[in-house]
Amino acid sequence: MGLFKSAFNKIKQGLDKTRSVFVNEVRTILSGKPLSKELLKQLEARMIQSDFGVKTSRELVADIEAAWERDEISTGDHALAFLKDQLNAYWPAEDRSLHFADSGPTIILVAGINGAGKTTSIAKIAKSLRDQNKKVMLAACDTFRAAAVQQLEIWSERLGVEVIKGQQGGDPAAVAFDACEAALSRGVDVLLIDTAGRLHTQKHLMDQLSKIKRVIQKKFPEAPHEVILVLDATTGQNAVNQASVFAQSIDVSGIFLAKLDGTARGGIVVAIREVLGIPVKFIGVGETPDDVEPFVPDKFVEAMFSA
Amino acid sequence: MFGNLTDQFSNALKKLSGKGKISESNVREAMDDVRTALLEADVHYEVVEQFCENIQQKALGEEVLASLKPGQQMIKIVHDELVATMSGVPVGQEADEFEAQPGIMFVSPGPTVVMMSGLQGSGKTTTTGKLAAVLKKQGKKVMVAAADLQRPAAVHQLEVLANQVNEEFDKGPDVLFHAELDKVAEYGKAVGAAVTVCRNAVAKARQEKCDVVILDTAGRLHVNDELMGELRQVQSAVQPHQILLVIDAMTGQDAVNSAKAFNSQLELDGVILTKFDSDTRGGAALSVRQITGKPIKYLGVGEHLDALEEFHPERISSRILGMGDVVSLVEKAQQQVSEEEALELQEKMAKGKMTMDDFLNQLNMMRKMGSMKSLLGMLPGIGNQIAQMDIDDKEINRTEAIIKSMTKKERTDVDLLDNSRRRRISQGSGTKPADVAQLVKGFDMVSQMGKQMSGMGMLSKLKAMSGMGNAMGAGMDPRAMMGGMGGMGKAPKKPSFKQKFKQRKKRR
Ligand SMILES: Nc1nc2c(ncn2[C@@H]2O[C@H](COP(=O)(O)OP(=O)(O)OP(=O)(O)O)[C@@H](O)[C@H]2O)c(=O)[nH]1
Ligand SMILES: Nc1nc2c(ncn2[C@@H]2O[C@H](COP(=O)(O)OP(=O)(O)OP(=O)(O)O)[C@@H](O)[C@H]2O)c(=O)[nH]1
Ligand SMILES: [Mg+2]
Ligand SMILES: [Mg+2]
């Protein structure tokens, strides 16, 4: 995957930090020890503490236990390998890179709850695409939050990409429509649409979001080519609710898991994958546009469970 | 989606009822349910373990074992313990101490310096605006200072919010805004500048004779030593009187890690939980309270500037348990219906003596209580189901027409309704025979339900309600169940936020 290559090393540093935290814990629990009930209990505790959720954690541990009872595995290290396989099975080889339009501009709609990291994540995607010599345009459809437009504008200036904006307090769908027209007339390759943060529990705001999507489709029936849900990696079990409601209203095609550079593990994406089938496409590992990495299940799992 | 304690206890109750007294192993089993419910609510694993250990000892005491309603007794113990943890007031003691603790403690002479801190995107800047609005309304002269110099447009965001506060709230002196735009830089290049900005802001606030100055700092990770160091520097440079940690109420297990780090590196005074208007169970609140020992001062309940609420330990405890905001629900219901009315209906229902007229009454009351729906939504899980149940005006109209086409006798004795009578009624009301049949079926269900529910506790009732789903159309008045809430019915009236501040002011 050519995308993000330039930023790769930087990202690795970010990941390594995340990795070492988790790995230390799991490693010390599992490695070099024979399997035991107690060990399994500790493993379950670790998973729960990584926000896998009680149900998912118990299921995963039950699988390990079953394999142990069948004498297929007998040590902590086996269990780790087994777990990797299990988790890998959650992420079958499907397209996790961005999906581009066959012709004309690719439209990427970005949504999520308040403060998840949407605007910053857009800057990250924009930069990597720009670095690939794609002509990128941003649409400032957050007409609600104080200085949201200015925030995106600053990113557009720093990255040297164009931004389309409307009136503060104006109709975000109208801005989206204008942006679609501009993208077409200016021969843009990718249009990234930033939307206001909204809680999934607010029906009128979710309706507003589906309206934005419909308006985009008026201009480009095949669009949006990607609908990215930005999730804060520190979020707990509520993320499943978030993902399911956003998926219902705008048919989410992938998750951008932001803020994975802290101590949160983002384990909830495993439950989301299982319940809703939504893949994770990117992870965010910092506040600058370079702090992004494509989501690679193997690496994600490894970052969690191996040295 | 997630099982909750209410469900689990209903099962536990079923298992336990009839047994009279319960055994130790019953209690242990119920404790497992408590543990799971708390974990699903995002309470941190270790905190859950500790919490459950406490509870188990109490539950194993005579109280539960001797109780005739062990299930309810268990819920009460868990709930009380949660409230105690959240409020810092041990079970059985008066809550005075907590109640007397104001949101912001003022120093005199001013300005009282308040510093906001927290992870990225938790809501610091927005909360700074909300807090300024609250204080302005109390007549305080407030300055907000933009000490986030790294996030794009952070300074401008705060300026817009300050202006909005001044536009939207007339009362009180205008909020002042302090910023030093020349210090703004890209991420990582402005570290340390916040110290100067804060120092200058406090000096200016003193000059301007402000009562309060609120410092809005940049979001940062608790593991970022450089940026955490900056906050410590601000702390020692301006010696804030109050340092508040702003936390997203949807945070999962990691809340413990960040809260612990912020608390150990700064002298935190309290916590503000934001985005509480979501449907999160909010277990992070318990974790954070337990780990830091610091009180939760406010809840952020929306994006608007007036969406800041006082923290009620009882309410959040109910929510974590999956019981929903029962207190608000009851308060609201009380505004809508007299207790006698509800009780009367409750009794009728219990005896299976509900009539079509009662049914019609309920429909009309239901119509008036459209707002109830949003309230029911406060109940996680079951509440959501009820809230999603469509109370369709057209449906109510149709039902009304049908009932009005019945004779007096038919209304009191539904069994009279044979096919020919049903045909007559459908013609008279301009509806289809199927509509009449459906109404009768719904009515039967509701009266059946009424009989069954008469022996249940409130929680099981709510659960039973949700089970009825749409089968009963719009034919159930939530007040019927309110009336049956027994002890919950008379929630003491709590002074509002405003009243409290007034009282406090008087006291000084
Ligand atoms: N550490 C870290 N911080 C991040 C990451 N992504 C975003 N942030 C920070 O999180 C905060 C919120 O990011 P925004 O991009 O403004 O979030 P948003 O979802 O657009 O917010 P609203 O539009 O207000 O709903 C900012 O301080 C960002 O710098 C990440 O991957 N790691
Ligand atoms: N629904 C809801 N949204 C909130 C609440 N508090 C803040 N927000 C929203 O959350 C998002 C982030 O809020 P900010 O105030 O920018 O957060 P911050 O902590 O200052 O962010 P950084 O400075 O980037 O770290 C914005 O979209 C706010 O409107 C709340 O209580 N409820
Ligand atoms: Mg944004
Ligand atoms: Mg801020």
Range with the largest mean pLDDT of B96-100, B181-185, B186-190, B488-492: B181-185
Q: Tell me the CA–centroid distance for residue A119 and ligand 3, in Å.
A: 4
Three-state DSSP string of A164-211: EECCCCCCHHHHHHHHHHHHHHCCCCEEEEEECCCCCCCHHHHHHHHH
Residue B189 has a pLDDT of: 86
Out of A242-246, A279-283, B369-373, pick the least confident.
B369-373
Residue A31 has a pLDDT of: 76
Closest CA relative to residue A223, chosen from A231, A214, A232: A214
What are the tens digits of pLDDT across the range A180-238?
Answer: 999 999 999 999 999 999 999 998 999 999 999 999 999 999 999 999 999 999 999 99
Q: Which residues, in sequence order, are CB contacts of B446 under 8 Å at separation 6+?
A: B349, B354, B359, B468, B472, B475, B476
Testing ligand 1's pocket by substitution, the residue of B119, B120, B228 carrying the most ligand atoms inside 8 A of its CB is B120
Residue A33 has a pLDDT of: 85
**A53/B contact by beta carbon, under 8 A:** yes
Q: Per-residue pLDDT averaged across B349-375, rounded?
A: 64
Residue B385 has a pLDDT of: 43
Residue B345 has a pLDDT of: 67
Q: Count the helices and strands in chain B (H runs, E runs).
A: 25, 8
Relative to the CA of A146, which ligand 2 atom is closest? 29
Q: Tell me the CA–centroid distance for residue B120 and ligand 4, in Å.
A: 7
Relative to the CA of B302, which ligand 2 atom is closest? 32
Range with the largest mean pLDDT of A110-114, A295-299, B12-16, B362-366: A110-114
Whether the CB-CB separation of A175 and A201 falls below 8 Å is answered with no
Angstroms from A267 CA to nearest CA on chain B: 10
Confidence at A146, pLDDT banded by 50, 70, 90: very high
- Residue B308 to residue B304: CA distance in whole angstroms: 9
Residue B429 has a pLDDT of: 87
Testing ligand 2's pocket by substitution, the residue of B117, B165, B303, B305 carrying the most ligand atoms inside 8 A of its CB is B303
Q: Average model confidence (pLDDT) for chain A?
A: 87
Task: Please list every residue in chain B whose beta carbon sits closer than 8 Å to the beta carbon of residue A201.
Answer: 277-279, 377
Q: How many CA atoms lie within 13 A of B432 on its CB side?
A: 4
Confidence at B342, pLDDT banded by 50, 70, 90: low
What are the tens digits of pLDDT across the range A276-300?
Answer: 989 999 999 999 999 998 887 777 6
Q: Bigger pLDDT: A107 or B357?
A: A107
Q: Per-residue pLDDT averaged across B218-230, rounded?
A: 95
| CB nearest to B1's CB, from A151, A235, A240 | A240
Ligand 1 in contact with A145 (CB < 6 A)? Answer: yes
What are the tens digits of pLDDT across the range B265-293?
Answer: 998 999 999 999 998 988 999 999 999 99
Residue B348 has a pLDDT of: 73
Cβ of A288 within 8 Å of Cβ of B188? The answer is yes
Closest-approaching ligand to the CA atom of A120 = 1
Confidence at A22, pLDDT banded by 50, 70, 90: very low
Relative to the CA of B151, which ligand 2 atom is closest? 24
Residues with CB under 5 A from ligand 4 (ion): B 124-125, 148
Q: Bigger pLDDT: B398 or A144?
A: A144
Confidence at B213, pLDDT banded by 50, 70, 90: very high
Angstroms from B361 CA to nearest CA on chain A: 30
What are the tens digits of pLDDT across the range B411-454?
Answer: 888 888 888 888 899 888 888 888 888 888 878 877 776 666 55
Measured in residues, chain B has a length of 508
- Residue A112 to residue A196: CA distance in whole angstroms: 8
First to last CA, chain B: 49
Task: Give yes or no for residue A24 having a pLDDT over 60.
Answer: no
Interface residue of A49, A61, A234, A270 to substitute, partner B, most B CBs within 10 Å? A234
Tell me which chain A residue has its CA closest to the CA of residue B303: A145
Whether the CB-CB separation of A161 and A190 falls below 8 Å is answered with no
What single DSSP character describes residue B171?
S
Which CATH number is associated with domain B326-507?
Answer: 1.10.260.30
Closest-approaching ligand to the CA atom of A197 = 1
Report the b/e string of A156-177 with b at 16+ CB within 10 A: beebebbbbbbebeebbbebbb
| CB nearest to A234's CB, from B125, B129, B251 | B251
Task: Please list every residue in chain B whose beta carbon sits closer than 8 Å to the beta carbon of residue A145.
Answer: 157, 303
| CB nearest to B121's CB, from A48, A117, A241 | A117
**A239/B contact by beta carbon, under 8 A:** yes
Q: What is B100-320's CATH topology? A: Rossmann fold (3.40.50)
Residue B452 has a pLDDT of: 60
What are the tens digits of pLDDT across the range A43-86?
Answer: 899 889 999 999 999 988 999 999 999 999 999 888 888 887 87
Whether the CB-CB separation of B75 and B459 falls below 8 Å is answered with yes
Whether the CB-CB separation of B377 and B481 falls below 8 Å is answered with no
Interface residue of A208, A238, A248, A257 to substitute, partner B, most B CBs within 10 Å? A238
Size of interface A-B (CB pairs under 8 A): 147
Ligand 1 in contact with A148 (CB < 6 A)? Answer: yes
Task: Give yes or no for residue B392 having a pLDDT over 80.
Answer: no
Angstroms from B5 CA to nearest CA on chain A: 14
Residue A177 has a pLDDT of: 96
Q: Tell me the CA–centroid distance for residue A115 and ligand 2, in Å.
A: 5
All structural domains of chain B with their residue ranges = 3-98, 100-320, 326-507
DSSP assignment of B70-90 equals HHHHHHHHHHHHHHHHHHT--
Q: Which residues line ligand 2 (CB under 6 A)?
A: A 114-115, 145, 197, 199; B 118, 120-126, 148, 151, 154, 218-219, 274-275, 277, 300-303, 307
- Residue A237 to residue B282: CA distance in whole angstroms: 10
Backbone angles phi, psi at A206, to 5 degrees: -70, -35
What are the tens digits of pLDDT across the range B144-166?
Answer: 999 999 999 999 999 999 999 99
Residue B65 has a pLDDT of: 61
Measured in residues, chain A has a length of 307
Retrieve residue B434's tokens: 């199927």
Task: Give yes or no for residue A108 having a pLDDT over 90.
Answer: yes
Q: Bigger pLDDT: B333 or B163?
A: B163
Residue A307 has a pLDDT of: 39
Residue B449 has a pLDDT of: 65
Confidence at B404, pLDDT banded by 50, 70, 90: confident
Closest-approaching ligand to the CA atom of B221 = 1
Q: Average model confidence (pLDDT) for chain B?
A: 76
| CB nearest to A264's CB, from B45, B254, B281 | B254
Task: Give yes or no for residue B18 having a pLDDT over 70.
Answer: no
Percent of residues, chain B, with pLDDT higher than 70: 68
Task: Give yes or no for residue B349 having a pLDDT over 80.
Answer: no
Residue B83 has a pLDDT of: 86
Angstroms from A278 CA to nearest CA on chain B: 17
CATH class, B3-98 region: mainly alpha
Cβ of B1 within 8 Å of Cβ of A262? The answer is no
Helix, coil or strand: residue A163? strand
Q: Bigger pLDDT: B34 or B371?
A: B34
Q: Tell me the CA–centroid distance for residue B246 and ligand 1, in Å.
A: 15
Testing ligand 1's pocket by substitution, the residue of A209, A287, A291 carrying the most ligand atoms inside 8 A of its CB is A287
Q: Tell me the CA–centroid distance for residue B150 and ligand 1, in Å.
A: 12
Q: Tell me the CA–centroid distance for residue A145 and ligand 2, in Å.
A: 9
Closest-approaching ligand to the CA atom of A118 = 1
Q: Tell me the CA–centroid distance for residue A284 and ligand 3, in Å.
A: 15
Confidence at B497, pLDDT banded by 50, 70, 90: very low
Alpha-helical runs (H) found in A72-141:
76-90, 118-131
Range with the largest mean pLDDT of A95-104, A209-218, B36-45, B65-74: A209-218
| CB nearest to B152's CB, from A116, A154, A200 | A154
Cβ of B45 within 8 Å of Cβ of A45? The answer is yes
Q: Bigger pLDDT: B341 or A89?
A: A89
Residue B477 has a pLDDT of: 37
Closest CA relative to residue A111, chosen from A50, A196, A176: A196
| CB nearest to A235's CB, from B2, B153, B252 | B252
Whether the CB-CB separation of B422 and B436 falls below 8 Å is answered with yes
Confidence at A124, pLDDT banded by 50, 70, 90: very high
